[in-house]
Amino acid sequence: MNDFIGSACPETLRNAVSSRAALHSHVRYLSSPAGGRVEGPRTGGRAPARPSRHPSGQRGRRGSDACAAVALAALLACGSSPVAGSTALDPVAEIEPFVMRMAEDHGAPPNETRALLMDAKVLDPVLEAIRRPAERKPWHEYRKIFVTGKRIERGVEFWREHAATLARAGERFGVPPEIIVAIIGVETFYGVHRGRIRVLDALATLGFRYPRRSAFFLSELEAFVLLSNEERFDARRIKGSYAGAMGIAQFISSSYRHYAIDFDGDGSRDLMQSPEDAIGSIANYLSMHGWRAGATIAVPAEVEGDAFRALVEQGIKPHASLASIRAKGVGFTMEAGEEEQGALIEFETKNGHEYWVGLANFHVITRYNHSSLYALAVLQLAERIRERHGSG
């Protein structure tokens, strides 16, 4: 099934882990109050280890202890040499419950999953980065990162290089070329900066050592293992962002599995090397999340009075008719029906705030990255690229 994972110390592991049920039972015992261990860092929604389908009580525990002890010793002996600034996962509290869940839910061979996770590294820089994302910056600082002359010029070049593919994506999915180009520009500077962190390490770090979003990142680690097998990736070599996004389009593993498409017709969904597949997959992703062809994305607005504050507080998802937004002291120009739903979104500038009315397509862009800053950066970069592309 999984020759992408390979094996570390295969003979030792095969001999040591001779009884899956015994080892699983022992892991559950060590994780229980009776075993004197606290639960592992899988804090979101699922227990650290699933109940065994072959539970063992006190009888036979000595045998299971011996089996698990030998297996654990083998696992530790097979571990990779340490890397500066990193630590390994805990074989009992972290790796083994994940291995058993993958086996039970997906039929993944335990030895192969175990060997892969033994090779994962917990990286402190990843934990530092997740706590200070760019999206926490005020708009006037965030914009300067992404809406730049170089990104605009390279975007025009990318559009010209892939004009036929972008046109085909527009015809099939209704997404304008400039939006697709801008997303690739913001994500990876058109494929140049795809990330330097192993996706395996990023997801293992956040899944096991970042309790706030442990459940999400463990599910992404699960999806990454499955994806690597499905797409025949070497799971140890794929690199991406600190959050585990990868490729030209920076898809996370679950999005890759569900929304990536083969747009160049070569029989594979290759977001690592194929700009055509990246273009088609971005368009497909936006389409599947409700993109409306030809519809307005967002427009700038002016506000007066205090009534508009209630609109801002309701968030970025369209929730009020344009007519009701105007009635609360918001002025804007838009070619759309007054009953269409929108949201008033506030952005911090150097000297105050600016306001935009975002419609359904603006919200769709935030499905790619859950940030209004990101969506506005994509929109403004797209507009500049389109203007420059059209001017020759």
| DSSP reduced 3-state for 121 | strand
d(CA 287, CA 170): 10
Token pair, residue 198, equals 């192993």
φ, ψ for residue 46, nearest 5 deg: -120, 145
Q: Choosing from 178, 187, 220, 276, which is the catalytic residue?
A: 187
Please report, for residues 246, 268, 269, 274, 275, the alpha-carbon distance to residue 263 in angstroms, rounded to integers and kept in the order given: 18, 9, 8, 9, 9
Strand (E) positions, the chain? Answer: 86-88, 121-123, 197-198, 239-240, 298-303, 320-321, 330-331, 341-349, 352-358
Cα 230 off chain centre by: 18
**368 torsion bin: left (phi>0), alpha (psi -120 to 50), beta (else):** alpha
Rounded to an integer, what distance in angstroms lies between the CA atom of residue 265 and that of residue 279?
13
CB 367 within 8 A of CB 291: no
Beta bridge partners of 88: 121
Exposure string for 314-327, b = 16+ CB within 10 A, e = fewer = eebebebebeebbe
Inter-residue contact 229 to 58 (CB < 8 Å): no
Q: How far apart are CA 7 and CA 30, in angstroms?
A: 26
Q: Which residues pair with 299 in a beta bridge?
A: 357
CA distance 257 to 284: 12
* Residue 187 known to be catalytic: yes
Looking at 79-193, list the stretches that DSSP marks H as alpha helix, in order from N- to C-terminal side.
Answer: 96-106, 110-118, 124-130, 139-146, 149-161, 163-173, 177-188
- Return the sign of the alpha-carbon dihedral for residues 150, 153, 155, 161: negative
> Which residues are marked as active site?
187
